[in-house]
C-alpha cells in the first residue's frame, strides 16, 4: 500500500518531519508557499500540516482532491475554512493544549513589562541616558488581576498571578464555583471585573459573544490607571479606544500580542504612550513549538494510517462500521445541543442526554459528546467532540447519559437537558424518515419544527393577538415567514413560538419583537 503523502507548508519543528517518517508517511517540507503555489501542488497530498501562515481557503479545498486531513499546530484555526473542509470530507485537527503554558507566560511577561515600562527604560538606557526618575513603575503584588476567560490558558495565568500574590477575579460563563475554588479565584460578573481590576487580561476565543468584549463603553467602566493585556485574539479589544484612553491617561499601560489585522505592519495603537507590542509571540517558545509539532504529526499520522480521530474540529470520533447508522443521529444531537447552547447565557451546572427507542441500542457515547459540543460551542469555538468532556470537567459541568428501555412516541428520541444557575431547560428531537432532524418538545411543550439557518425562538403569554402582531411586524419589515410552529403548556398559560424566516433579522427588529405585547423572551437562532 502506498504511503500517505503529507505536506508541511509552514515552519514546524524538524521533529514533525521525523515523526511523520517514523510513522510511515511520506512528507515534504515546503514552508513559505505562495497561495498559487499551494493550490498547484496540494492535489498530490492526503495531509496538510500548517501553523498560522498558510491560508486553507475554499479555493485550496476545491483543488485538494486527495486531501483527508488538515492539522493545525496550535489552537486557532481562523486560517482554515472549516465549512469548506467539512463539505469536502476533510478532517480539521488542532492541538489545543500544546502552547497553553507558553501563551500564559507571555501574558505575565507583558504584565511585568507594562507595569515597569521595561521596553522604554531599556531603549533609554542603551541610548546613553540615565533617566532613573522617569520610569516609575508599579508592583504586581497585592494588585487585582481581572481575568476575562478562565479556561485552559486563563487558569494558568491565574495560578501564576496568585503565585505573585495578586488577587484574581474572573469572568467566565462556564467557570463553576468548584473550579473557581480549586484555582483560588473569585468568580465575578464582567461589570465587577471592569470596576475592580488593576490589570485586565483576556483569554477567550473570538466569537460573536466575545467580539469587542472590551469595547470603548466597557473600557470606560474601568478604574483610572488600569492596565490592559491581550494575548488571545485581535478583535476582543477596541484598539482605537485603547489608544485614546492611553493618551488621556485613563489606561496607564497596555500590552498587545495580537491585533485585528495581522501581520500588523501598521496599527492605530502604534505610537501610543505606555504601550508594549509583540508580533503574536504567545506560542513562540522552543518548548511550545516542539509540543505542537509533535502532537500534530502524531494525530495526523494516526488518522491517515489507522482512521483514529483526535482533536477534530469538524468530525466526531466514530468507527467506519458505526458511521452510517450514527451519522443522522450525530446531526440531531449536535443541533439539539446548539439549540440549548444558544439559549444559555449563565453558568452551566449540568448537561443530561437521554435516549429512547432504537437509538438507545447504539453506541451513544459519540452522540453525547457531540451534543455537549453543541451546548458549549456558542461560547467556545475551539471545543470539539473529543475535548468537550475535558472542557466540561474543567468547568465543573456534570455530564449524564441515560438510556431508557421504555418505548416512546417515536422510533427514536433524544432528550437534552441543560441546568444552569437560572433555569433547567430540556429539548427533545427525533428523526423523520430516519434522516431529517426535528424538534418535538421544548420544556415539556409539544411542538414540531425543523432546524433552519434563521429561526426566531419566542416565549410568550398565551393570549389572543400575539400571532397577528408578530406576523404584521415581520411583514412590515419585509421578513418572509417560511414556517410557524406553536406550543403551549395550558390554555392561557406559557407558550413557545418557533418561526423560520428566509433572511437574517437585524438587532433593531429583534428589539421591536422583544417589546411586543405578550412576549417574554425573543432570541434569534441559527443552524
Could you read off the pLDDT tens digit of each residue along the chain, which spans 527 residues? 689 999 999 999 888 999 999 999 999 999 999 999 999 999 999 999 999 899 999 999 999 999 999 999 988 888 999 888 877 778 899 998 888 999 999 999 999 999 999 999 999 999 999 999 899 999 999 999 999 999 989 999 999 999 999 999 999 998 999 999 999 999 999 999 999 999 999 999 888 889 999 999 999 999 999 999 999 999 999 999 999 999 999 999 999 999 999 999 999 999 999 999 999 999 888 888 889 999 999 999 988 987 777 788 887 655 545 666 888 998 999 999 999 999 988 889 999 999 999 999 888 888 998 999 999 988 887 677 657 777 888 889 999 999 988 777 788 999 999 998 888 989 999 999 888 999 999 988 899 999 999 999 999 999 999 999 999 999 999 999 999 999 998 898 989 999 999 999 999 999 999 999 999 999 999 99
The answer to whether the CB of 523 falls within 8 A of the CB of 494 is no
Position 320 scores a pLDDT of 47
Final residue of a domain: which of 220, 252, 277? 277
Distance between CA 392 and CA 349 in Å, rounded? 9
For residue 436, the domain's CATH number is: 3.30.1330.90
Report CA-CA distances (Å) from 322 to 146, 365, 380. 46, 12, 28
φ/ψ (deg, to 5) at 326: -80, -25
DSSP string across 138-192:
---TTPEEEEE--SHHHHHHHHHHHHTT-EEEEE-TT--HHHHHHHT-EE--HHH
63 and 13 share a domain?
Answer: yes
Distance between CA 397 and CA 381 in Å, rounded? 17
Q: 3-class SS at 46?
A: coil
410 and 454 share a domain?
Answer: no
Closest CA to 140 of 183, 170, 107, 101: 107
The answer to whether the CB of 441 falls within 8 A of the CB of 467 is no
Residue 235 gets the label, from left (phi > 0), alpha (psi -120 to 50) or beta, of left
Distance between CA 115 and CA 199 in Å, rounded? 9
The answer to whether the CB of 343 falls within 8 A of the CB of 323 is no
**Taken in order 210, 215, 217, 219, is the CA torsion positive or negative?**
positive
In a domain, 57, yes or no: yes
Report CA-CA distances (Å) from 454 to 178, 207, 480. 37, 18, 11
215 and 161 share a domain?
Answer: yes
38 and 133 share a domain?
Answer: no
120 and 146 share a domain?
Answer: yes
174 and 208 share a domain?
Answer: yes
Give the H/E segment covering residue 403: strand 398-404
The answer to whether the CB of 6 falls within 8 A of the CB of 25 is yes
Final residue of a domain: which of 419, 443, 467? 443
130 and 199 share a domain?
Answer: yes
Instruction: Return the DSSP state at 314.
Output: S
Count structural domains, the chain.
4
Hey, which residues does 168 pair with through a beta bridge? 145
Q: Do the strands 144-148 and 167-171 form a parallel or antiparallel pair, or are they unpaired?
A: parallel
The answer to whether the CB of 240 falls within 8 A of the CB of 214 is no
Which residues are marked as active site? Answer: 233, 262, 280
In a domain, 214, yes or no: yes
Burial of residue 241 (number of CB atoms within 10 Å: 0-12, 13-18, 19+): buried
Q: 3-class SS at 194?
A: helix
pTM: 0.66
The answer to whether the CB of 457 falls within 8 A of the CB of 523 is yes
> Cβ contacts of residue 38 below 8 Å, gap of 6+?
9, 54, 60
Closest CA to 357 of 414, 318, 398: 414
In a domain, 330, yes or no: yes
How many CB atoms sit inside 10 A of residue 195's CB? 14
Cell numbers linked to 188: 465575578
Position 162 scores a pLDDT of 97
14 and 115 share a domain?
Answer: no
250 and 359 share a domain?
Answer: no
The answer to whether the CB of 64 falls within 8 A of the CB of 247 is no
Distance between CA 242 and CA 268 in Å, rounded? 9
The answer to whether the CB of 345 falls within 8 A of the CB of 436 is no
**Residue range(s) defining the domain that contains residue 35:** 5-96+287-313
For residue 479, the domain's CATH number is: 3.30.70.260
85 and 50 share a domain?
Answer: yes
In a domain, 11, yes or no: yes
For residue 43, the domain's CATH number is: 3.40.50.720
231 and 291 share a domain?
Answer: no
In a domain, 318, yes or no: no
In a domain, 252, yes or no: yes
105 and 92 share a domain?
Answer: no
In a domain, 477, yes or no: yes
Q: Do the strands 167-171 and 494-501 form a parallel or antiparallel pair, or are they unpaired?
A: unpaired
Distance between CA 505 and CA 455 in Å, rounded? 9
Amino acid at each position: 500500500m502506498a504511503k500517505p503523502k503529507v505536506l508541511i507548508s509552514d515552519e514546524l519543528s524538524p521533529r514533525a518531519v521525523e515523526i511523520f517518517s517514523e510513522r510511515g508517511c511520506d512528507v515534504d517540507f515546503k514552508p513559505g508557499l505562495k497561495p498559487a503555489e499551494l493550490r498547484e501542488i496540494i492535489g498530490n497530498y492526503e495531509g496538510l500540516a500548517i501553523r498560522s501562515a498558510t491560508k486553507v481557503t475554499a479555493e485550496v479545498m476545491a483543488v485538494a482532491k486527495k486531501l483527508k486531513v488538515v492539522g493545525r499546530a496550535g489552537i486557532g484555526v481562523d486560517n482554515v475554512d472549516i465549512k469548506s473542509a467539512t463539505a469536502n470530507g476533510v478532517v480539521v485537527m488542532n492541538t489545543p493544549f500544546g502552547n497553553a503554558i507558553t501563551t500564559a507566560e507571555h501574558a505575565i511577561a507583558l504584565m511585568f513589562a507594562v507595569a515597569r515600562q521595561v521596553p522604554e527604560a531599556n531603549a533609554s538606557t542603551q541610548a546613553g541616558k540615565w533617566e532613573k526618575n522617569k520610569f516609575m513603575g508599579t508592583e504586581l503584588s497585592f494588585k487585582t488581576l481581572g481575568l476575562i476567560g478562565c479556561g485552559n490558558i486563563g487558569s494558568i495565568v491565574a495560578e501564576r498571578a496568585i503565585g505573585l500574590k495578586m488577587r484574581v477575579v474572573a469572568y467566565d460563563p462556564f467557570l463553576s464555583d468548584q473550579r473557581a475554588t480549586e484555582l483560588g479565584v473569585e468568580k465575578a460578573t464582567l461589570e465587577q471585573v471592569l470596576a475592580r481590576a488593576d490589570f485586565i487580561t483576556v483569554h477567550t476565543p473570538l466569537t460573536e459573544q466575545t467580539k469587542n468584549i472590551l469595547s470603548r463603553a466597557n473600557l470606560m467602566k474601568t478604574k483610572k490607571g488600569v492596565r490592559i493585556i491581550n494575548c488571545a485574539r485581535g478583535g476582543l479589544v477596541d484598539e482605537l479606544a485603547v489608544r485614546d484612553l492611553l493618551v488621556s491617561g485613563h489606561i496607564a499601560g497596555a500590552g498587545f500580542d495580537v491585533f485585528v489585522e495581522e501581520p500588523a505592519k501598521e496599527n492605530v495603537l502604534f505610537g501610543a504612550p505606555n504601550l508594549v507590542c509583540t508580533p503574536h509571540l504567545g506560542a513562540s517558545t522552543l518548548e511550545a513549538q516542539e509540543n505542537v509539532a509533535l502532537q500534530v504529526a502524531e494525530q495526523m499520522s494516526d488518522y491517515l494510517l489507522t482512521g483514529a480521530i483526535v482533536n477534530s474540529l469538524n468530525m466526531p470520533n466514530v468507527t467506519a462500521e458505526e458511521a452510517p447508522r450514527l451519522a443522522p443521529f450525530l446531526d440531531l444531537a449536535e443541533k439539539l445541543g446548539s439549540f440549548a447552547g444558544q439559549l444559555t447565557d449563565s453558568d452551566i451546572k449540568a448537561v443530561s442526554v437521554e435516549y429512547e427507542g432504537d437509538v438507545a441500542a447504539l453506541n451513544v457515547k459519540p452522540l453525547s459528546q457531540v451534543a455537549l459540543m453543541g451546548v458549549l460551542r456558542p461560547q467556545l469555538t475551539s471545543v470539539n467532540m473529543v475535548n468537550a468532556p475535558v472542557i466540561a470537567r474543567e468547568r465543573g459541568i456534570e455530564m449524564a447519559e441515560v438510556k431508557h428501555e421504555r418505548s416512546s412516541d417515536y422510533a427514536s428520541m433524544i432528550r437534552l437537558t441543560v441546568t444552569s444557575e437560572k433555569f433547567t431547560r430540556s429539548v427533545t428531537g427525533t428523526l423523520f424518515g430516519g434522516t431529517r432532524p426535528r424538534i418535538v418538545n421544548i420544556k415539556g411543550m409539544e411542538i414540531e419544527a425543523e432546524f433552519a439557518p434563521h429561526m426566531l425562538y419566542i416565549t410568550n403569554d398565551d393570549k389572543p393577538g400575539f400571532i397577528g402582531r408578530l406576523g404584521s411586524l415581520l411583514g412590515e419589515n419585509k421578513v418572509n415567514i417560511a414556517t410557524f410552529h406553536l406550543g403551549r403548556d395550558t390554555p392561557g398559560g406559557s407558550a413557545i413560538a418557533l418561526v423560520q424566516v428566509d433572511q437574517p433579522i437585524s438587532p433593531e427588529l429583534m428589539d421591536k419583537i422583544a417589546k411586543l405585547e405578550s412576549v417574554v423572551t425573543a432570541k434569534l437562532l441559527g443552524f
